[in-house]
A and B are shown apart, each in its own frame.
Chain A
């Protein structure tokens, strides 16, 4: 059966925090014919399974749980009559001409919106992406899968747990599993520093005396049917396990928290260029991708550490899409580049004229103390700040004031750089 759904002006793909905030913002900016498509049975995305608190500190000045944060935005979206919500609907294909095919229990759906906001989020790296040798027994999960099992389905995955990787979800699940009565035997991190936020290392591991083994990895999985144990070993500077230093830990469950990857299958299908440094589409300050009519926000663009920033950039995408539907910028564009010490910057380009404040989000390549972060244009400082400590897991932000952007011309470059503060002072 073919679904007869009116063509919306704007289609939003994904009903997590990014899609919800983008839809509400687009509506408020004048776009009154929006269709939001969500593949799950309900809106809210990953927040529904994040029952811990710590969300919203930045935007609301209050610590909320994931479901509470989601609830706020679901309510906002429901309040706006021009936003049509379709849950249980999965987008199957997307063409560069914005032809969109989706499926739900009622059948197939073909749409031709004038603009599309991509808000599909991210997915977890799996065992096969970190190449774990050994058998393929039951009892090996990603941290997010365990989170869903425990918090939404009421199923405990096992009793004796080893966690590989110290990403935030892994740390949070270490605490959650402990409070549910399981024994978490240790968190093994191949890098010399934790992957997650300090807050989570302290409150999820230290609070419960769960050991964190840095520069360690899992080298082998034992067990034919169910996991019976893992080998772990320290690694050298290059991340190679040291031979002869392996030890066996009996356990029934291994949880992987080894990173997140922006979910960009549809983005690729639509022919939208991706940034290899972020794994997400190249965007401008309105979160417009390089293909006209396509916008992107949230973890599709790059993986965020705080949902608050997802909300802020999604609102920007919503306003950007609404504005695009009215009139288009034609003033050329400037490039934004990651300079010395910076891993990546989003947005990667600015469409001109840049007449609103622009937030640049970026991560550093390595941990460093006492630094000065600057956004430079032809040797002039557009914005800067000092930080006492920067770490790759914590996203950073510089805000460019519109008054400083009026001199930008098409083809110009803005560079974000990191400098050791002590060095800087001795030169001055």
Chain B
């Protein structure tokens, strides 16, 4: 059985420490002062996800780096590997904000998309 774990709820400044403990009857949550904390901690315990943001190399553009993100939150366990994969990507300008750079990025089920317009001049 998984051990019990503590999370700091990030949904309001109170920053409750919420504990999730596995037991016979399933998961027990304690320490939260409202429902948002319970939902947050359960999500963090069972399937924590993050949107990965970063940059990739770009050729033929006014800047050497193009900012990108995953278009949905990806499993937290994939974040480091996916971030490392960004350094192996190179695209060619022009690129449009929202354009898909890699579909199903790093097997995450989310696409890697550009988060700005970038062309040879800064006034694309």
Contacts and interface: CB of A to CB of B under 8 A. Distances in A.
B83 A154 contact: no
A53 B51 contact: yes
B50 A65 contact: no
B12 A388 contact: yes
Given A71-B97, A179-B83, A152 B33 contact: no
A8 B57 CA distance: 40
A326 interface: no
Contacts of A41: 62, 122
Interface residues on A, range: 35 or more
B14 A51 contact: no
A179 B70 CA distance: 15
A51 B10 contact: no
Interface in A335-385: 369
Which has the most chain B C-beta neighbours within 10 Å: A51, A181, A206? A51
A48 B97 CA distance: 13
Interface residues on B, range: 20 to 34
A84 B14 CA distance: 45
A65 B122 contact: no
Given A63-B51, A207-B50, A394-B13, A53 B69 contact: yes
B116 interface: yes
A202 B116 contact: no
B101 to A, nearest CB: 14
Contacts of A369: 14
Which has the most chain A C-beta neighbours within 10 Å: B14, B53, B54? B53
Contacts of A154: 55, 57, 64-65
A42 B79 CA distance: 31
A199 interface: yes
A51 B8 contact: no
Contacts of A391: 13
A51 B51 contact: no
Interface in A87-103: 87
A373 B84 CA distance: 46
A132 to B, nearest CB: 30
Contacts of A67: 67, 97, 115-116
A214 to B, nearest CB: 14
B83 A51 contact: no
A198 interface: yes
Interface string B81-124: 00110010000000001000000000000000001110000110
Given A68-B115, A198-B10, A389 B15 contact: yes
Contacts of B57: 154
Nearest to A179: B83
A179 B69 contact: no
Interface in A142-166: 150-154
Contacts of B13: 198, 387-391, 394
Interface string A167-198: 00000000010011100000000000000001
A71 B117 contact: yes
B15 A198 contact: yes
B63 interface: yes
Contacts of A65: 53, 67, 69, 115
Contacts of B14: 369, 388-389
B35 interface: no
Contacts of A51: 53-55, 67-69, 115
Given A51-B55, A153-B63, 5 more contacts: A41-B62, A65-B69, A151-B67, A181-B87, A394-B13
Interface of A: 41-42, 48, 51-53, 63, 65, 67-68, 70-71, 87, 150-154, 176, 179-181, 198-199, 201-203, 206-207, 369, 387-391, 394
Interface of B: 8, 10, 12-15, 33, 50-55, 57, 62-65, 67-69, 76, 79-80, 83-84, 87, 97, 115-117, 122-123
25 contacts: A51-B54, A51-B55, A51-B115, A65-B67, A65-B69, A67-B115, A71-B116, A87-B122, A151-B65, A152-B63, A152-B65, A153-B63, A153-B64, A153-B65, A201-B8, A202-B10, A203-B10, A203-B50, A369-B14, A387-B13, A388-B13, A388-B14, A388-B33, A389-B15, A391-B13
Chain A to chain B: the 5 pairs with minimum beta-carbon distance, closest first:
A67-B116, A179-B83, A51-B67, A389-B14, A154-B64
